[in-house]
Amino acid sequence: MSLTVKCCALNSDEGPHFSLLSEKGFEVLPGNRDRSFWEATNLIEELSGCCAVIAGSEPYTPEVIKNCPDLKVIARTGVGFDAVDLEACDRQGIVVTTTPGVNHHSVAEQTIALLMGVSRGFPDNDQRVRSGAWKRIAYPRVMGRTLGLVGLGRIGQAVATRAIGLGLRVVAHEPFPNKEFVEKWKIETLELDDLLGQSDYVSLHNPMTPQSLKMMNRDTFAKMKKGSVFINTARGALVDESALIEALQSGHLRAAGLDVFDVEPLPTSSPLISMSNVLLSGHVAGLDVESQFDTLTMAAETILSLKDGGWPTECIQNLKGMSDWKWDR
């Protein structure tokens, strides 16, 4: 029986997972980077004969799942799993795992970097200097402003403590807040509309669910303060990009810092590309040296645990109630 693991996640072609899995008899292969894994045919061909995949943001659709009969584990590097069709995996008995608790500090740093960058006029200032067209523009000071966090889990909490250190007032929208945390850091929890109306900066840190799909749309952007700033390091599908573009073009929003997009990679035809008040990065918020090492280690360890008959519940996102899953099924 095949013990081949394919590494499709970006930045997974080397790392601790190779030795961890190889020492236990697995063959670990890097992905073919000449192929786009966002195309179903390519991904199906890439995973032919594989028992597991170290997965990134590439879409695991019902078509892909159906055509990968040997696949036992989709080990996602990160905490998001909206690119994986869980129902299709349930039908086929494929375990979908994530790596919770290893990259929240990285995402928090990227969030603060985007917030500070757009607040100080980047990328516009950078481009002016490069072109020799210097121009001095005063921007609102960050200290003393209000940051609204939509979501206060591990990542939201990591952002909150950093933001408080910068002198920001932090409010949050979180259905199930950690009482000890919000009391310690004096964070007020608000309904979403109240948060949007009070915040000078709004940053998304909530999961992608059917209920949160396009939660930031024309109506919700209109509820944000005029001249406020929008940050998204969570999921692109949380945002109606056309509505965001309208809000930026109209001047209702002063700026945006974006790491994730509805379509990835972001098409070069997107108006966001040419906006000087928008700071962009390519879905790298959860990626730093430390988190990359820890994420790939955890992904490999979940595969090994499942192979040995374990059931790492905290990492498994599907097959709810399963008690008799076996590797050799």
What are the C-alpha distances in Å from 4 to residues 7, 22, 30, 297?
10, 10, 11, 17
Per the residue annotation, which of 174, 235, 241, 254 is the catalytic one?
Answer: 235
Could you tell me the end-to-end alpha-carbon distance of the chain, in angstroms, rounded to an integer?
Answer: 11
Give the whole-angstrom CA distance, residue 235 versus residue 237.
Answer: 6
Residue type, 29: L
**The two structure tokens encoding residue 281:** 């990065």
DSSP element (H, E) containing 146: strand 146-150
* 264 belongs to the catalytic site: yes
**Catalytic residue (choose from 17, 205, 283, 301):** 283
Contact between residue 328 and residue 308 where contact means Cβ atoms under 8 Å apart: no
Residues 6+ apart with CB under 8 A from 256: 118, 229, 230, 231, 232, 244, 248, 272, 277, 278, 279
Sign of the alpha-carbon torsion through 159, 163, 164, 168: negative
Examine the residue annotation and report whether 174 is marked as an active-site residue of this protein. Answer: no
State how far the Cα of 52 lies from the Cα of 215, in Å rounded to an integer.
33
Which entry of 27, 63, 246, 264 is annotated as an active-site residue? 264
Q: Which DSSP symbol is given to 84?
A: B
Catalytic residue IDs: 235, 264, 283
